[in-house]
Amino acid sequence: MTDRAPAQRGPEIDETAGLGGVAAVPFAARHIGPGAAEQQRMLAEVGYSSVAELLAAAMPETILTRQALRLPPAAGEAEVTGELRRLADANRTMVQMIGLGYYGTHTPAVILRNVLEDPAWYTAYTPYQPEISQGRLEALLNFQTVIEDLTGLAVAGASLLDEGTAAAEAMTLARRANKKSTSPVFLVDSDVFPQTLAVLRTRALPLGIEVRVADLAAGLPDGEFFGLLTQYPGASGRVVDHEALCAAAHERGALVTVAADLLGLCLLRPPGEVGADVVVGSAQRFGVPMGFGGPHAGFMSVRKGLERMLPGRLVGVSKDADGQVAYRLALQTREQHIRREKATSNICTAQVLLAVMASMYAVYHGPDGLRRIAARTHRLATILAAGLRTGGVEVVHEAFFDTVSARVPGGAAQVVAAARDAGINLRLVDADTVGIACDETTGDGDLLAVWRAFGIAVPSISEVDARCAEPLPAALVRSAGYLAHPVFAAHRSETAMLRYLRDLADKDYALDRGMIPLGSCTMKLNATTEMEPITWPEFASIHPFAPADQTEGYRELIDDLCRWLAEVTGYDAVSLQPNAGSQGELAGLLAIHGYHQARGESQRDVCLIPSSAHGTNAASAVMAGMRVVVVACDDDGNVDLADLDAKIAAHADSLAAIMVTYPSTHGVYEQQIAQLCGKVHDAGGQVYVDGANLNALLGFAKPGRFGADVSHLNLHKTFCIPHGGGGPGVGPVAARAHLAPYLPGHPMLDGNDPQRPTVSAAPYGSAGILPISWAYLRLMGPDGLTAATGAAVLAANYLAARLRPHFPVLYAGANGLVAHECIVDLRPVTKSSGISVDDVAKRLIDYGFHAPTMSFPVAGTLMVEPTESEDLAELDRFVEAMIAIRREITKVESGEWSAEDNPLVNAPHTARMLTADDWSHKYSRQEAGYPNGDGARQKYWSPVRRIDGAFGDRNLVCSCPPPEAFTQ
Ligand SMILES: *Cc1c(COP(=O)(O)O)cnc(C)c1O
């Protein structure tokens, strides 16, 4: 332990370095907030002399590893940027015309720089505190409006993880919503994307749903089914009128889901108009780079009556304490994963940042701009097809939007190879068929090159008679307008757009303003050097199904990352496919199921989950087809081993697994973890350790070594991918060797074993953001990572020590120490003063803070996770704010301030409220708005007062409100 010195602050004199012996500041000293001297002061407060001593006292001896991590030593920022440049250069950028749900798109530069590359957007947290999230909530409401308008359905959610999983969510939604049919059959059209089909099959299996593939354009097959899915346009490019199909399906008591292309919908009749109950898809081609598969915003819209079944988050309109329009997450208690085993979906982290980008693309282009892009794309495809026909090549489908299937008997591979030589990727469908997808970025030269690859010498575009028949049948031409709301007309100049983005970002509190002390969410630094490479075209423009020899850089990066993550967790194999923690959980449980099944023990279906677990755990277990049995916690918040014994005994033959979070969601290193793993193993079960709290373990303990079989990690927590306002995420699943054969696979991967589950649409999930975590590991090196864990645990214990005299700190482990977070118990003051956890959370906004996690895992408490990145001054600012708030509560307790009128219940205070001509409160405006004095810091003003969530739920509005709504 003694070799784990905390990071040094400031330039170090390195005897071995040249040029005067001054080495660059190590990155770890940039990432870790408190320097050596500050850490000493913090240690003194906690009562230890070194970080090593503190960690040894906090963690059980049985799990401590004393071996240094076997990772490459830390490299400097310039060096890492150079290495990433080399990896990027090993990818080959191409004109991507493969299609299948991933298309070239121009990200407007104003959006690229001022959303994707702007920390005000990408470092924001999920908008659970709506008062400080009005900017991104408005952007998400715009997103919902875009989806509702284009799909022609009543209500859309604020993003799902990708198109494949959105289709799977639609399948299970149809199963639940359909009370008429008892059939287990879900029909899938043969022209859906192959990756969507793979995800559907994976998700159907544990739930007893039978996926049946048929050519639905030929009509409905015989037999019963509860729902169906078609693609519009299909994978082949074919556009089919689904009106009769929808009517026939409804006639037979089934629900219809259409997977639709957003750009196509700008020209095509919307599925909602022809009878679809649910529409799903991806918003990728609205300005979001392909990124080798993600991240992109999946979407779902539903007809009226199904909105309460929507998975993921739904933004709605409500009002604040002054009656002003204000946004917040609607039906929030129904955000499905919170309902645990009663949840219908496990989605927690979604794709907020990408949904914001897609919405802004629509805001910037407006309805006419979108129509123009769609029309141009369609026109190019029309010309392409005409040229092919001129050259004697058969075009398979008469009706298409952007994608053309060309028949070249026996010659498809040759055409695809010739196009590749010309820098263009086409889709090799089979030996006789080539797929060619046009998009916003397609140019005349690309068409000429494609024709040449077919051996057709068309000298120029004008040569082709493109006045051939319009490939969209009249019945499918869209007549319904869209995006009539003024927001889609008001920001069309770049100046206006820039100001709109700035205006929204200024409404929000993100990490670029101050600390976001959210328990379990690890809101640490997202370093600029880590972020920069993700928008390089060599990473951003790669199609997920590009041939392997064009993606060598990505593959090397992925291999490194898998190896390094295996090393730091002690596991043998890692899959990066899951695109959120929730999906990693599902993948891990499916691996456990696969393992039991292979051993002839598929009756093992009970998953033990402690009562303190994160909601996703139980929701994932249900999705994996398991029965959830809850294990109690004792008074100290630890898993109750006696109850565990009882539950194991009760389910001895059917025990599949236990899912535990370590350190626990109570922020404590449970001492008996090794014992717990042993008990489950002895009973034939597997141990799943939820690795979302890995920030408290890295470098000190490895779940794969202290008894766990499988874990998911959250790269958007521990490994520095920013939260993006609620996504993107990456949730790798890591497992020991015996589970490795059951980790995710993908139909588009060479040599894929079809028995493996597919949990994301893309083979490597959200590959486009993996450079962030790669860079973090490379920059920190083994010592930096270890020092970060030490600093994170020290910071949490420092906060606990300083807050304890003022508020009880719930739960502590050995020696009264917490792990990387601590729970501040507000229930006693709520009892004595009526001041609730909500009041304290909102009052923290007046003090310039984002509230901690509220009422999870214990109602009436705040869970605080400072992370290693906050320096001592910021930690102290938080402590002082909490102490000042405690003093304010005292005034309520003593009756100096009434329970109805005090700065806590009235928080947050807006500038408008404080500058109003009348002020009738018993406390001053100064006390309200600048409670800790003026300071040098720019004051953050919440743009709205306390939001009435219940009002919005009673009056559910999930699209942009009309301008008149704001004029009162
Ligand atoms: C965040 C979290 C999850 C879920 O991860 P998502 O990426 O949001 O799906 C699961 N378990 C715990 C303990 C978490 O903190």
Mean per-residue pLDDT, 254-259: 98
Q: Please tell me the predicted confidence (pLDDT) of residue 16.
A: 45
Strand pairing report for 853-854 and 861-864: antiparallel
* CA-nearest residue, atom 6 of ligand 1: 581
Does residue 414 sit in the same domain as residue 342? no
**Tens of pLDDT, residues 310-338:** 999 999 999 999 999 999 999 865 566 77
∠ Cα 158 575 103 (to 5°):
50
* Domain limit, last residue, from 341, 362, 383: 362
276 and 172 together in one domain? yes
Q: Six-digit token pair at 254?
A: 């089934």
Element (H, E) at 385: helix 352-390
Supply the residue whose CA is at minimum distance from atom 8 of ligand 1: 349
Burial class of residue 322 in the structure, from the number of CB atoms within 10 Å of its CB (0-12 exposed, 13-18 middle, 19+ buried): middle
User: What is the bridge-based pairing of β-strands 210-214 and 185-189?
Assistant: parallel
Q: Estimate the crossing angle of helix 552-569 against helix 77-89, to 10 degrees.
A: 130
Residues 248 and 392 both lie in one domain: no
Q: Please, which residues bridge with residue 824 across strands? A: 809, 862
* Residue 934 confidence class, pLDDT cut points 50, 70, 90: low
pLDDT at residue number 9: 45
| Residues in Cβ contact with 31 at an 8 Å cutoff, skipping those fewer than 6 apart | 524, 525, 527, 776, 779, 780, 784, 788, 868, 869
Supply the mean pLDDT for the chain.
95
| Average pLDDT of span 237-250 | 97
The whole-angstrom separation of Cα 887 and Cα 115 is 40
Question: Could you tell me if residue 388 is inside a domain?
Answer: yes
Q: How big is the CA angle at 264 (ends 260 and 265), to the nearest 5 degrees? A: 70
Cβ proximity of 164 and 760 under 8 Å: yes
Q: Count of residues for the chain?
A: 968
- Are 465 and 325 found together in one domain? no
Of 362, 387, 405, which residue constitutes the final position of a domain? 362
Indicate whether 190 and 334 sit together in one domain. Answer: yes
To test the ligand 1 pocket, which listed residue (349, 694, 773, 823) has its Cβ within 8 A of the most ligand atoms? 349
Is 101 part of a structural domain of the chain? no
Name the residue among 934, 884, 940 with its Cα closest to residue 911.
940
Nearest-CA residue for atom 2 of ligand 1: 692
- Residues 97 and 423: their CA atoms lie apart, in Å, by 10
Confidence of residue 10 (pLDDT cuts 50, 70, 90): very low
- Please indicate, yes or no, whether residues 723 and 753 belong to a single structural domain of this protein: yes
612 close to ligand 1 (CB < 6 Angstrom) = no
CA of 582 to the centre of ligand 1 (A): 6
pLDDT score recorded for residue 235: 98
Q: pLDDT (tens digit, 9 = 90+) per residue, 287-302?
A: 999 999 999 999 999 9
Domain shared by 701 and 612, yes or no: yes
CA gap 1, 766 in Å, rounded: 36
φ/ψ of residue 869, rounded to 5: -85, -20
Is residue 70 left, alpha or beta, with left meaning phi > 0 and alpha meaning psi from -120 to 50? beta
Range of the domain at 471: 368-476
Instruction: Check if 820 has its Cβ closer than 6 Å to any atom of ligand 1.
Output: no
Cβ neighbors of 895 (< 8 A, separation 6 or more) are: none
Q: Could you write out the DSSP letters of every residue in 15-39?
A: TT-SGGGBPPPPHHHHHSSS-HHHH
Determine contact, residues 812/668, Cβ cutoff 8 Å.
yes
Quick: pLDDT tens for 507-563. 999 999 999 999 989 999 999 999 999 999 999 999 999 999 999 999 999 999 999
Q: What is the CA radius of gyration of the chain?
A: 28
Q: Looking at the structure, do residues 331 and 401 belong to the same domain, yes or no? A: no
At 1, is the pLDDT very low, low, confident or very high (cuts 50, 70, 90)? very low
CA–CA distance, 664 with 692 (Å, rounded to integer): 10
**Which residues lie closer than 8 Å to 368 by C-beta, 6 or more apart?**
none
- Give the pLDDT confidence score for residue 342 in this predicted structure: 80
- Specify whether 750 is located in the same domain as 601: yes
Say how far apart CA 796 and CA 646 lie, in whole Å. 34
Cβ of 945 less than 6 Å from ligand 1: no
The pLDDT of residue 78: 97
Over residues 264-272, the mean pLDDT reads 98
Of 769, 802, 830, the residue that ends a domain is: 769
Q: Whose alpha carbon is nearest atom 3 of ligand 1?
A: 581
Q: How far apart are CA 858 and CA 114, in angstroms?
A: 38
Per residue in 41-90, pLDDT tens?
Answer: 999 999 999 999 999 999 999 999 989 999 999 999 999 999 999 999 99
**Distances from the Cα of 292 to the Cα of 18, 193, 761, angstroms:** 41, 16, 11
Helix 134-151 / helix 494-507 crossing angle, nearest 10 deg: 120
Q: Report the nearest-CA residue for atom 14 of ligand 1.
A: 692
Which token pair is 806? 């003022």
C-beta of 711 in contact with ligand 1 (< 6 A): no
Measured distance CA(603)–CA(93) in Å, rounded: 49
Is 122 a residue whose pLDDT tops 80?
Answer: yes
Percent of the residues in the chain that have a pLDDT greater than 90, as a whole number:
89
pLDDT of 945: 97
User: 655 alpha carbon to ligand 1 midpoint, in Å?
Assistant: 24
Query: Is 723 near ligand 1, meaning CB less than 6 Å away?
Result: no
pLDDT band at 907 (very low <50, low <70, confident <90, very high): very high
694 C-beta closer than 6 A to ligand 1: no
Q: Is residue 938 part of a domain?
A: no
Q: Which residues pair with 433 in a beta bridge?
A: 407, 430
Q: Looking at residue 465, what is its pLDDT?
A: 76
Residues 354 and 393 in one domain: no
Please give the Cα distance from 631 to 642 (Å, whole number): 10
Q: What is the pLDDT of residue 463?
A: 84
Question: Ligand 1 mean position to 346 CA, how many Å?
Answer: 10
Q: Decide if pLDDT at 14 tops 50.
A: no
Residue 11 has pLDDT above 60, yes or no: no
720 in any annotated domain: yes
User: Which segment of 496-505, 578-587, 859-868, 929-938 scores lowest on mean pLDDT?
Assistant: 929-938
Residue 33 lies in a domain: no
Selected residue with higher pLDDT from 133 and 968: 133
Question: 569: domain CATH number?
Answer: 3.40.640.10
Please compute the mean of the pLDDT values over residues 429-441 and round it to a whole number: 98
692 Cβ below 6 A of ligand 1: yes
Q: Is residue 93 part of a domain?
A: no
Give the separation between CA 522 and CA 692, rounded to whole angstroms: 9
Mutate which of 125, 165, 348 for ligand 1 pocket (most atoms within 8 A of beta carbon): 348
The CB of 39 under 6 Å from ligand 1? The reply is no
Ligand 1 centre and the CA of 581: distance in Å?
Answer: 5
In short, whether 257's Cβ falls inside 6 Å of ligand 1 is no
- The answer on 374 and 287 residing in a single domain is no
Determine how β-strand 655-661 pairs with β-strand 686-691: parallel
Determine the Cα–Cα distance for residues 529 and 526; give it in Å rounded to an integer.
9
Instruction: Return the ligand 1 atom nearest residue 584 CA.
Output: 9
User: Which of ligand 1's atoms lies nearest the C-alpha of 717?
Assistant: 1
Please report how many Cα atoms fall inside a 13 Å half-sphere around the Cα of residue 906, on the Cβ side: 24
Q: Where are the alpha helices (DSSP H) in 391-521?
A: 412-421, 444-453, 487-490, 494-507
Ligand 1 within 6 A of CB of 348 = yes
pLDDT of 12 strictly over 60: no
Q: Is the pLDDT of residue 17 over 50?
A: no
Residue 335's pLDDT is 63
Q: What is the 3-class SS of 479-512, one letter each residue?
A: CCCCCCCCHHHHCCCHHHHHHHHHHHHHHCCCCC
Distance 615 CA to ligand 1 centre (A): 8
The CB density around residue 653, as the number of other CB atoms within 10 Å, is: 10
pLDDT band, very low/low/confident/very high, at 23 (cuts 50, 70, 90): low
Evaluate: CB of 320 within 6 angstroms of ligand 1.
no
Residues whose CB falls within 8 Å of the CB of residue 468, separated by 6 or more in sequence, listed in order:
382, 385, 386, 389
Q: What are phi and psi of 733, to 5 degrees?
A: -110, 130
Q: Is the residue at 805 inside a domain?
A: no
Helix (H) or strand (E) holding 809, with range, is strand 809-810
Cα 614 to ligand 1 centre (Å) = 7
**In total, how many domains does the chain have?**
3
Q: Which amino acid is at 501?
A: L
- pLDDT score, position 707: 95
Q: Say what percent of the chain tops pLDDT 70.
A: 97
Residue 378 domain flag: yes
CATH of the domain at 432: 3.90.1150.10
What average pLDDT does the segment 5-28 reach?
56
Tell me what the mean pLDDT of segment 461-489 comes to: 90
Q: Which helix (H) or strand (E) holds 631?
A: strand 627-631
Global pTM reads: 0.96
- The C-alpha atoms of residue 53 and residue 704 are separated, in whole angstroms, by 24
Q: Does pLDDT of 104 surpass 50?
A: yes
In this prediction, residue 7 carries a pLDDT of 45
> Residues 224, 130: one domain?
yes
pLDDT (0 to 100) of residue 2: 38
